[in-house]
Amino acid sequence: MRSDAAKIDNVLPYMKYSRQDRMSEPRTPISSRIVADLIQEKAYRVITTDLHNPAIQGCYKIPFDNLKAYPIIIKNLKENYSDFLENAVIVSPDIGSAVRAKSYAGRLGLDVVLTSKERKKAGSVDKMTIIGDVSGKNAIIVDDMIDSAGTLCKSAEILREKRAKRIYACATHGLFSKNAVERINDSCLEKVLITDSIPQKSNGKIEVVSLTGLFGEAIHRVSHGESISELFN
């Protein structure tokens, strides 16, 4: 602002506090709304990717582009893991991720398997049920983010018990808290594809897929007044 910019576009590959989108308990803050108020005080536009809850966009009164990372991840899968895809199913880690799983499945021509989780408290899974057949098939668990990786590794264990052959996981945001990387490397997961929306490097079973091209193209189109609708396809 002090340099007299015509407009300011906020490019936020990972939108922080996006999980704090409602009051989970009385008198707790809705931090995503607070962040929205702070950002749009000066910014003209927001460009991000894979919001945990897309409804957060309703908190903004400025142009908001929530890009999708799965086309980039799918391209990587097709180019580098075509053999794995020949006998694979897409696994949604919970009912809330079913739409994302269908997006992957539709573009890869694969079936979808759902998992249903029961929690007694946040961060731990007490019971998990697989809805669909994974026996003798490769499984790809898809989600928007990986935090402690506890649920992810638990899902992989259940899939292995159901006789899935090889198990991969794909996600956009890698928070990797609470020894998540070590937990993944010690699990029955064979590979985890994650983007660099949060800067990180490939490590053990974790492989980083870059979103540089996606955001570079989005910034170019916005700067030149061009449509970015193609980037959502």
In angstroms, what CA-CA distances link 129 with 92, 104, 122, 153, 155?
12, 21, 18, 14, 9
Say if CB 17 and CB 35 are below 8 A apart: yes
Verify whether residue 117 is a known catalytic residue: yes
Contacts of 138 (CB under 8 A, 6+ apart): 84, 85, 87, 88, 89, 164, 165, 166, 167, 168
Active-site residue, from 117, 154, 165, 205: 117
3-state secondary structure 10-67: EEECCCCCCCCCCCCCCCCCCHHHHHHHHHHCCCCEEEEECCCCHHHHHHCCCCEEEE
Say if CB 76 and CB 209 are below 8 A apart: yes
Q: Which residues are identified as catalytic?
A: 117
